[in-house]
Amino acid sequence: MAWNHANGIKLSVSSVRRNPPECIESRAKVTSKMNQILAELDAASRSALPLMLDLNGNVAENSVANFFIVREGSIWTPPDRNILEGVTRKVVFELCSRLSIPLIERYFTMYDVAQAEEYFITSSAICATPVSEVDGFTPKRSVPGPITTQLIEAFAADTGYGFHLADKFCSPLEKEDEI
């Protein structure tokens, strides 16, 4: 499934759970990614990418990316206890501070996802990518939503690359004198 910044991507909750930190330290980038691979295969059977839950049923992360929702005007992301502390996730924290977007680390469930205005994932390879659906739930706002768009534009301004709501992966920003 291609990353699609214009229309978003589809996620599906995997029956494979995120390894708890009591078994494998969540910050460790280990060579065995068996749970993530199994989650990928599980979601692929539904033509989607996986969204993994922790053992308590809270939303954790995608197999290769951090997951965020926008709810009540704030960005919510799971605490770093059960997820990989992504570099790009930290950039989102910095951008939210700079752009005065409230960001809350908290546990949340699929109920919260169903009520959310926007969803997106982040990783170093894809920066911020909108999510258009999670198991039939769709964000309450258009995809990408205004806060996700603000973050994508801030990433583009900071990096010089536009993920810019185009179907392409990362393309250099057009220079004004070339327009």
Determine whether 90 is an active site residue: no
Asked if 1 contacts 47 with a C-beta cutoff of 8 angstroms, the reply is yes
In SS3 terms, 52-113 reads as: EECCCCCEEECCCCEEEEEECCEEEECCHHHCCCCHHHHHHHHHHHHHCCCEEECCCCHHHH
Beta bridge partners of 130: 120
The residues pairing with 68 across neighbouring beta strands, listed in sequence order, are 120
**How many residues in the chain?**
179
- Is there a contact between 92 and 75 (Cβ–Cβ < 8 Å)? yes
**Catalytic choice (10, 29, 33, 175):** 29
Measured between alpha carbons, how far is residue 72 from residues 23, 46, 54 in Å? 34, 30, 24
Residues marked active site are found at 29
